[in-house]
Amino acid sequence: MTTVPLLLFAAAARRIQLSLLGVLQYISPSLQFSIGVFIYRETFTRDRFIGIGTVWLALILFATEGFLVYARGG
C-alpha cells in the first residue's frame, strides 16, 4: 500500500520544475500540521510551534532568495 503513493509522487516529480517541487516539500508538512490541529484536534504544544515556525522561516528565506535572483535578471 505504501509504494503506490511513492510511485505516484516519483512520476509527478518528473513532470514539474524542481523549484515547485521544493516549495511543495515545505508546504506538505504545514498541511499535515494543519489537518492534525484543526481536523483531528491534536494538541498544539510549544515544540510543535517551533517546528512549524522553522519550516515557514525556511520557506520565506527560499522565496526571498528566489525573488532576489529573479529581480537581478538571473
Is residue 21 situated within a structural domain?
Answer: yes
d(CA 55, CA 29): 8
Query: What range does the domain containing 37 cover?
Result: 17-71
d(CA 41, CA 37): 5
pLDDT reading at 12 higher than 70: yes
The arithmetic mean of pLDDT across residues 10-23, rounded, is 88
As for how many domains the chain has, the answer is 1
Is residue 5 situated within a structural domain?
Answer: no
Report the candidate in 44, 62, 42, 64 with the shortest Cα–Cα distance to residue 52.
44
Is residue 65 situated within a structural domain?
Answer: yes
Is residue 25 situated within a structural domain?
Answer: yes
Residue 26 confidence (pLDDT)? 74
Residue entry with cell 522553522? 54
DSSP string covering 7-34: HHHHHHHTTS-HHHHHHHHHHHHHHHHH
Is residue 12 situated within a structural domain?
Answer: no
